[in-house]
Amino acid sequence: MTRLSDEILEAVTAAIGPASEPVPLHRPFLPPATWKYVKACLDSGWVSSGSSVSEFENLLAHTTGCQRVVAAVNGTAALEICFRIVGVLPGDEVFCPSLTYVSTANAISHCGATPHFVDISKDRLSICPEALQNRLAEIVKPSPSGPMNRLTGNRLGAVCLMHCFGHPGDLDPIVAICDRYELPLVEDAAESLGSFYKVKHTGRFGRVAAMSFNGNKIVTTGGGGAIFTDDDNLADRAKHLTNNAKVSHPTELRHDEIGWNYRLPNINAALGIAQLEMLDVLLKAKRALAMKYLEMFQNIDRVRFIKEPVDSESNYWLNGVIIDDCDKTELTSTIGTLAVAGFQCRPAWEPMHKLPMYSACPRGSLTLTNSIHDQILCIPSSANLSPDWNKLTEKLSGTKL
Ligand SMILES: *Cc1c(COP(=O)(O)O)cnc(C)c1O
């Protein structure tokens, strides 16, 4: 019998071909037209603020169907502002998954609040509605300032749902729970540009959402992020706070509260425009790659390729498999086998409640989080590994300067 790691290596090789050079987990695609936008920005001299930022924001609004988009310096900063503008206060607790990138918990902490971890569901890897409901039933107590945790005496400030690897979380039931308990929903949509829950783009279900345009995401501005909302007041607030609380005035420089310098530089925005213009190509390429992986992993015992939920359309930002009964040792050795063959693979994040700074945070039962995090293997997911890549990109115009 072949070792599991050999079978996985075989499936990866069958899907994307042998690695003639090291294949990274995710590498950005900067289309030829990028050079035109970046050059225009450099030629204008407007590298910090400028029109590329609003162009980038408008394209994001158009892509997602969201009314208002405010660009930010990165996804973490965007998420922090999301929590602030929905009213998360120092001392509050904010529900979030433990299986997430550390930024989710950090953004909560930067507001002086504490993450309160709830379990995820196996089919979506994002917050499990039943787990959230059960935890709330266990701890919630109404108070004049809103729902509070009767065990800690802290106010409950918000719920943060993260769309894991780009796969939409279970929004309808989570929205219903948030409504029932009068908790604002913030979506950590950092990974889910191009992902739809039912017919609506992710990031449009909460009161606000944050996305990231870091170098490893589906669209990158080098570093960057954005805040999404349909609420004009919240959008104005986000714009104000991320711009050092600067008051609009023709001549004077005036600020009316303590703000943050969280603006996305114009040069970074310019970097992202060409990718947004061809997002449909990136999405098609990633879907074709995922379908190829799905096919190649079909017949391996113990291994299940992570598919989009049946009611949703995922951007397949990061492909992964779940290996039944895998432990850390087997996962590490599998990653080692793939690395030797030139494929960079990665485990899921170490759950937040296992990190020193978050180990004492309040939490519900984390049974699935604890069992599944050593069973997740993320595999190379760059769009250019797609079987359809050449066909999809042959018509892209623009030249390097
Ligand atoms: C990437 C990411 C972020 C943070 O984005 P940055 O732009 O790197 O600050 C937040 N949450 C999740 C889930 C992410 O994957």
DSSP 3-state of 261: strand
**Tally of CB atoms within 10 A around 96:** 25
* CA separation for the pair 306, 346 (Å, rounded): 15
pTM comes to: 0.97
Mean pLDDT score across all residues of the chain: 97
Largest CA distance in the chain: 76
Name the residue at shortest CA distance from atom 14 of ligand 1.
Answer: 190
Distance from the CA of 22 to the center of ligand 1, in angstroms?
A: 25
Angle between helices 129-139 and 171-181 (to 10 degrees): 20
pLDDT at 220 over 70: yes
Beta strands in 64-184 (DSSP E): 68-72, 93-97, 114-118, 140-141, 148-149, 156-162
- Give the model confidence (pLDDT) of 45-67 as tens digits: 999 999 999 999 999 999 999 99
Residue 186, both tokens = 């913030």
The yes-or-no verdict on residue 213 having pLDDT over 60 is: yes
Q: Is the CB of 101 under 6 A from ligand 1?
A: yes
Cβ-contact 123, 168 below 8 angstroms: no
Residue 161: pLDDT over 50: yes
Ligand 1 midpoint to CA 107 (Å) = 10
Quick check: 85 and 107 in contact, CB under 8 A?
A: no
H-only helix segments in 17-146: 34-44, 51-64, 75-85, 102-110, 129-139
Do residues 21 and 351 make contact, with C-beta atoms less than 8 angstroms apart? no
Decide if pLDDT at 151 tops 90: yes
Give the pLDDT score at 396. Answer: 82
**What does the alpha-carbon distance between residue 129 and residue 134 come to, in Å, rounded to a whole number?**
8
Domains by residue range for the chain, with CATH: 4-28+280-392 (3.90.1150.10), 33-277 (3.40.640.10)
> Which pair of tokens denotes residue 57?
């924001």
What's the CA-to-centroid distance between 249 and ligand 1, angstroms? Answer: 34
DSSP tally for the chain: helices H, then strands E: 13, 18
pLDDT digits (tens, 9 = 90+) for 347-398: 999 999 999 999 999 999 999 999 999 999 999 999 999 999 999 999 887 6
Mean pLDDT, residues 226-245: 98
For the Cβ of 103 lying below 6 angstroms from any atom of ligand 1, the answer is yes
1 has a pLDDT exceeding 50: no
Tell how far CA 153 is from the center of its chain: 31
